[in-house]
């Protein structure tokens, strides 16, 4: 996506020149970095920006719990859990699921106000949706929680819903206007809606088999990765029971809202149809809020002890994770081996091509070489797997992309020289024939063979 955002700064049009199904804001967030900074610097700036967002998100979680409980210990515990979870390996990403968290959290803060700004809430949900479509589940859960569970009068709820819809419509209109100016409205609609739904509903395993895989690959890891949330809540409730305390009545509503939010978000993860652990990012806010609210059930002294113990454990776990990685990175001269490989490959590509020539990566995962080498891809293809039927779903689209590549072949093809990469038999045969007939090998760097288009 960063390579595609860099390409947008070079005049490539999203969804027309760049094949994608993710919403536009997931690319727009990267564009300023690549427009204003050197390509090799931009990813570091993006990571710094992400870290700032995590801090901002932790602050919003803290504010929400503080408003509901008026307890610093509970608020701090929820904020610590939020920051810690977003530092886990599966959560450290720039996927749309990550960026949706922050407009959604801000909308929850606005909803908690005495006089909610409904139009602003709708606009924030629109922004979240155009980061990742799955944000529609957060919007549904928060609408149900703050409008239905609070049992607002029907007329007031209707006015609120209309204002929310108006706010969302404004964001949608701005996005539509952008694509109208670019002349790509049909392509954008097809990508973000039609093809995204086809991706979600990709036929595959029987329901029972899929449910078993989901339990193993998603529910099991979520129980493990979110363990600090569940353990803190369990410890707080045990302390409350031991002391004969009970959950304050005033917290019953926030607890129900957050529980509903967690359940609906989890259903959203299931509905995607694919199983990737980073999809669980959408569960982080509600899980942390529930843990912080549950802590308030414990007596005051137990709350202080539990919140400080949580802080100590999370800091210790963070140190045990970071220390060996920092040591290994220091041994590598503070450049990760994968990044070092991409930099070397990018240098080779620049050496073998002119700035106006296009390249293609086949079986190579170093997708950052596009912006590092400052070379655009052939036919808008950044991942060779996006030429597969499993991605395009239609045989005619597969043939169209192959015909386009035959008619406008890349000047340089970077090919994995090991048999370990994933590709269908038809894809392997297509590229084998293309390389044999049209290309000659001119260089090798590790597992990457560089093939130059023969002169005609």
Q: Same domain for 209 and 349?
A: no
State yes or no: pLDDT of 220 exceeds 80.
Answer: yes
- Note whether 103 and 131 are within 8 A (CB): yes
Number of domains in the chain: 2
State the DSSP code for 335: S
Q: Which of 297, 329, 361 corresponds to the end of one domain?
A: 329
Q: Same domain for 84 and 222?
A: yes
Q: Which among 179, 173, 170, 266 is positioned nearest to 222, based on CA atoms?
A: 266
| Residue 4: band (very low, low, confident or very high) from pLDDT cuts 50, 70, 90 | very high
Query: What residues pair up with 415 in beta bridges, in sequence order?
Result: 362, 449
| Residue 147: band (very low, low, confident or very high) from pLDDT cuts 50, 70, 90 | confident
pLDDT at 146: 86
Task: Provide long-range contacts, Cβ within 8 A and 24+ apart, for 420-428.
Answer: 421/363, 421/364, 422/385, 423/363, 423/384, 423/385, 423/388, 424/388, 424/389, 424/390, 426/389, 427/384, 427/387, 427/388
- Note whether 411 and 376 are within 8 A (CB): no
Mean pLDDT, range 395-418, rounded to an integer: 92
Tokens of 235: 């410890």
Q: Same domain for 177 and 196?
A: yes
- Note whether 252 and 309 are within 8 A (CB): no
Q: Rounded to whole angstroms, what are the CA distances from 313 to 93, 186, 297, 381?
A: 24, 51, 21, 45
pLDDT tens, position by position, 322-366: 999 999 999 998 999 999 999 999 999 999 999 999 999 999 989
| Residue 19: band (very low, low, confident or very high) from pLDDT cuts 50, 70, 90 | confident
pLDDT at 203: 57
Other beta carbons within 10 Å of 65: 29
Task: Provide long-range contacts, Cβ within 8 A and 24+ apart, for 392-395.
Answer: 393/195, 393/198, 393/202
pLDDT at 200: 65
Query: What residues pair up with 360 in beta bridges, in sequence order?
Result: 413
pLDDT tens, position by position, 226-264: 999 999 999 998 988 887 766 776 788 899 999 999 999
C-alpha 262, offset from chain centre: 18
Structural domain harbouring 46: 2-329
Q: Same domain for 324 and 377?
A: no
Q: Same domain for 283 and 407?
A: no
Q: Same domain for 176 and 259?
A: yes
| Residue 372: band (very low, low, confident or very high) from pLDDT cuts 50, 70, 90 | very high
| Residue 210: band (very low, low, confident or very high) from pLDDT cuts 50, 70, 90 | confident
Q: Which of 294, 329, 364 corresponds to the end of one domain?
A: 329
Mean pLDDT, range 187-204, rounded to an integer: 78
Mean pLDDT, range 153-167, rounded to an integer: 89
Query: What residues pair up with 361 in beta bridges, in sequence order?
Result: 414
Q: Same domain for 14 and 160?
A: yes
Q: Same domain for 359 and 325?
A: no
State yes or no: pLDDT of 150 exceeds 80.
Answer: no
Q: Same domain for 231 and 113?
A: yes
pLDDT at 287: 97
Q: Which of 329, 347, 380 corresponds to the end of one domain?
A: 329
Q: State what percent of residues in the chain have pLDDT above 70.
A: 98
Q: Which among 24, 48, 6, 55 is positioned nearest to 369, based on CA atoms?
A: 6
State the DSSP code for 145: I
- Note whether 4 and 381 are within 8 A (CB): no
Rg (CA), the chain: 25
Q: Same domain for 278 and 307?
A: yes
pLDDT at 197: 80
Mean pLDDT, range 373-382, rounded to an integer: 93
Mean pLDDT, range 443-447, rounded to an integer: 94
Helix runs in 130-153, H state only: 135-143
Q: Same domain for 317 and 382?
A: no
CA angle 57, 235, 216 (to 5 degrees): 70
pLDDT at 151: 72
Residue whose pair of structure tokens reads 């602050």 in the numeric block? 59
Q: Same domain for 303 and 362?
A: no
State yes or no: pLDDT of 149 exceeds 80.
Answer: no
């Amino acid at each position: 996506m960063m390579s595609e955002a860099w390409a947008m700064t070079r005049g490539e049009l999203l969804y027309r020149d760049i094949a994608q199904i993710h919403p536009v804001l997931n690319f727009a967030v990267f564009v300023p970095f690549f427009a204003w900074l050197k390509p090799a610097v931009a990813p570091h700036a993006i990571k710094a920006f992400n870290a700032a967002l995590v801090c901002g998100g932790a602050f919003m979680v803290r504010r929400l719990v503080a408003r509901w409980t008026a307890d610093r210990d509970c608020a701090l515990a929820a904020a610590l859990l939020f920051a810690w979870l977003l530092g886990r390996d599966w959560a450290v990403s720039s996927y749309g699921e990550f960026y949706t968290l922050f407009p959604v959290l801000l909308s929850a803060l606005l909803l908690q106000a005495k006089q909610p700004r409904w139009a602003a809430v709708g606009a924030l949900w629109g922004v979240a949706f155009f980061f990742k479509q799955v944000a529609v589940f957060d919007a549904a859960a928060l609408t149900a929680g703050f409008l239905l569970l609070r049992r607002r009068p029907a007329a007031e709820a209707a006015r609120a819903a209309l204002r929310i819809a108006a706010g969302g419509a404004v964001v949608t209109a701005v996005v539509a206007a952008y694509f109208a100016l670019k002349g790509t409205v049909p392509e954008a609609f097809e990508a973000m809606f039609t093809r995204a739904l086809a991706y979600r509903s990709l036929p595959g395993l029987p329901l029972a088999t899929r449910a078993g895989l989901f339990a193993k690959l998603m529910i099991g890891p979520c129980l493990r990765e979110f363990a600090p949330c569940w353990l803190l809540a369990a410890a707080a409730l045990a302390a409350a029971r031991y002391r004969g305390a009970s959950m304050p009545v005033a917290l019953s509503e926030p607890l129900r809202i957050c529980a509903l939010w967690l359940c609906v978000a989890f259903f959203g993860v299931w509905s995607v149809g694919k199983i990737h652990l980073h999809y669980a990012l959408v569960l982080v806010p509600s899980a942390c809020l529930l843990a912080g609210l549950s802590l308030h059930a414990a007596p005051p002294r137990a709350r202080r002890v539990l919140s400080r113990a949580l802080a100590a454990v999370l800091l210790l776990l963070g140190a045990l994770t970071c220390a060996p990685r920092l040591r290994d990175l220091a041994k590598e001269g503070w450049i990760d081996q994968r990044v070092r490989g991409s930099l070397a490959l990018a240098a080779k590509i620049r050496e073998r091509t002119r700035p106006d020539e296009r390249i293609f990566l086949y079986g190579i995962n170093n997708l950052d070489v596009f912006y590092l080498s400052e070379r655009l891809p052939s036919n808008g293809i950044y991942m060779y797997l996006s030429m597969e039927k499993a991605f395009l779903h239609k045989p005619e689209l597969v043939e169209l992309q192959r015909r386009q590549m035959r008619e406008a072949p890349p000047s340089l093809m970077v090919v994995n020289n090991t048999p370990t990469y994933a590709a269908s038999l038809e894809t392997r045969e297509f590229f084998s024939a293309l390389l044999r007939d049209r290309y000659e090998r001119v260089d090798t760097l590790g597992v990457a063979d560089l093939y130059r288009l023969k002169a005609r």
